[in-house]
Amino acid sequence: MIMKKLICAMLAGIMLASAFSGCSPSDTAGGESSESGGVVTVNFWSAPQKVQYNFWTAKAKAFNETETKVNGKTINVKVQEMPESPSSEAGIQNAIVTGTVPAASENISRSFAATLASSGAVYDLQDEQWFKDAVAAKKMENIIAGWAIDSKQYVLPEYVNPMTWQWNAKALRALGFSKVPQTVDDLDAVLKAFVSNKSKMSEIGVTHTLYRTSLARNDQWWERWYDFQSPYMALSQKTTWVENGKLTLDRQGAIDTFELLGKFGNTIQTNEVTDAWTAENPPILLSVSSPWDIQTLRAAGKTYGMDGDYVFGPSLVKKAGDTPYNFADSKGIVLYKNSKISDEQHQGAVAFLKWVYSSENCTQSDVDWLKATTMIPVRGDISTNSAFADQLKQYPELKDLVEFSKYSIPCMASDKMTDIQTALTESGLSVYIQEVLKQEPLHAPDASKAVDSAFSAMKAAGNLS
């Protein structure tokens, strides 16, 4: 009988252990402190992209070889890709809640940083000497103000993708244009030529003008950065969206932006096209630019430039001479504040970033970044610093993007950004686009009603005045 009880107890124990075997935390927050070995392990999360992970792993390896010490203990930086599912932001949220957040991570937008800052989950870097040194080393003195959140700095800017327009150069040439459109009038001329040369366009496979599936999807709020904010910044000449709890969006600028998209009428392609830019004959005239696809396009044999297959153009401005501001698809690095991250781990993360962006290593780090990712590092001297010249010569695409990046504006610093952009989509742009899709090109419907409706919805969604 005792034996039976013993077997039952063992079985129960084994079942219990099996059921909970997956519950032990895979890692501790920030890293691990090993007193005996005198080593402090510091966790750093890279974006869930192989190229970025490789870059940071290489930097961590080089840093670890310096055997930098904090409080007599050697810092060992360990790089991991941040969780991608369901989203990197949700992965960070989960890590903060469960106490497994790293000491530092990249891939943080200004807006998400605002959410983290309002939650007290990240350090204010403004008064840190190493941060000031990094800003100076990257010549970002004029750029950094655009990254402020409530007059404080929480993010060390890392890269910027200026979001502008990507044109089918072959189609532009076939329509008789030798220069990429710069103004709204230029766009009108291209659309006019497109309408009167539809059969000629069909011959080279171009069936639509603007390729933009997200205009038909209410859930993709983040796409408003690219198809609304970017042209809006140029058409309103950099009028902000939200500031100090107030909706500062310029009504006329918003109407102009809606109507700019409205000009494309029923030639907007809102259906998915699987190989829009890599097809032998791209079926579209333009799309929002995708700088991260440069390597893919090269691999597909596409050449860049007005005499090639595709070309990046600036944000369209109202009149020649206006500044072509655009949206900066940009991310940066933050240091997490959490009770599970020890002071030594925090200091270790600071030491690592200080080393990567020190005056000696900063330029090389940014050159390495550009080579690894073909995304433009945020710095004030990229077009004049000879260290980047080879890379920009090799990639004329990047050279143009670097020019556009001078006018790039990061996303709004509001923890209500998703609500605000969702409201703009659902109450304004989406409703308007349904009307647009019934119209011929160059007959943009009046957008004032849709814009007013979007303004009310955005104020309500973001508790804005």
Partner 1 sequence: MAERTNSKKHYRDNFTGWLLNIPYLAYTAVFFLIPLVWAVWLSTMDWNLMSPDRTFVGIRNFTGMFANPKIIAAFFNSFRYLAPIVVLCFLFGLLLALLISNLPDRIKGVTAVLFFIPYLTSGVATSVVIRFFFSYNSAFNHFLRERFDKDISWFQNPTSAFWIIIAIIVWKMSGYYALFLLSAIESIEPEVNEAAAIDGCVGFRRLVYITLPMILPTITTVIVLASGLAFGIYTEPYLLTGGGPNNATTTWLLEIYNTSFTNFRSGEGAAMAIANAVQIFVTIQLFTFVMNKLNRKFGV
Residue 271 in contact with partner 1, rule: CB under 8 A: yes
For the bound state, the minimum distance from the C-beta of residue 72 to partner 1, rounded and expressed in Å, comes to 32
4 interacts with partner 1 by CB under 8 A: yes
**Cβ of 409: how many Cβ atoms within 10 Å?**
22
Q: Which residues pair with 150 in a beta bridge?
A: none
User: Which lies closer to partner 1 via its Cβ, residue 162 or residue 282?
Assistant: 282
Judged by CB under 8 A, which stretch of 49-57, 88-96, 102-110, 355-363 contacts partner 1?
A: 88-96
Which residues neighbour 46 within 8 Å (Cβ) at sequence distance 6 or greater?
52, 53, 55, 56, 57, 79, 80, 81, 82, 105, 106, 107
Strands 39-46 and 73-81: parallel
Q: 144, 148, 147: which is closest to 136 by C-alpha?
A: 144
| Helix 417-424 × helix 448-462 angle, to 10° | 160
Under rule CB under 8 A, residue 279 binds partner 1: yes
Q: Does 19 bind partner 1 (CB under 8 A)?
A: yes
Residue 168 touches partner 1, criterion: CB under 8 A = no
Element (H, E) at 326: strand 326-335
Contacts of 6 (CB under 8 A, 6+ apart): none
Rounded CA separation 400/305 (Å): 10
- Looking at the Cβ atoms of 76 and 338, the one nearer to partner 1 is 338
- Using CB under 8 A as the binding rule, whether residue 197 contacts partner 1 is answered as no
Asked if 235 touches partner 1 (CB under 8 A), the answer is no
Instruction: Of 77, 62, 78, give the one whose Cα is nearest residue 364.
Output: 62
For residue 115, state whether it binds partner 1 (rule: CB under 8 A). yes
Contact, 140 vs 379, CB < 8 A?
yes
Closest CA to 312 of 150, 168, 458, 210: 168
Contact 169, 303 (CB under 8 A): no
Tell me if 257 contacts partner 1 by CB under 8 A.
Answer: no
Q: Does 93 bind partner 1 (CB under 8 A)?
A: yes
The mark string for 48-87 relative to partner 1 (x by CB under 8 A, - otherwise) is --------------------------------------xx
Stretch that binds partner 1, among 25-33, 216-224, 251-259, 290-298 (CB under 8 A): 216-224
**Per CB under 8 A, does 1 bind partner 1?**
yes
d(CA 314, CA 331): 21
Provide, rounded to whole angstroms, the least separation between the CB of residue 69 and partner 1: 32
Segment interacting with partner 1, rule: CB under 8 A, options 13-21, 35-43, 229-237, 404-412: 13-21
Among 54, 240, 270, 358, binds partner 1 (CB under 8 A): 270
Q: Any contact of residue 415 with partner 1 (CB under 8 A)?
A: yes
Q: Name the helix (H) or strand (E) containing 351.
A: helix 343-356
Nearer to partner 1, 316 or 457 (CB): 457
- 216 touching partner 1, by CB under 8 A: yes
Binding residues (CB under 8 A) for partner 1: these are: 1, 4-5, 8-9, 11-12, 15-16, 18-20, 23, 86-87, 89-90, 93, 96-97, 115-116, 118-121, 216-221, 269-275, 279, 283, 415, 418-419, 422
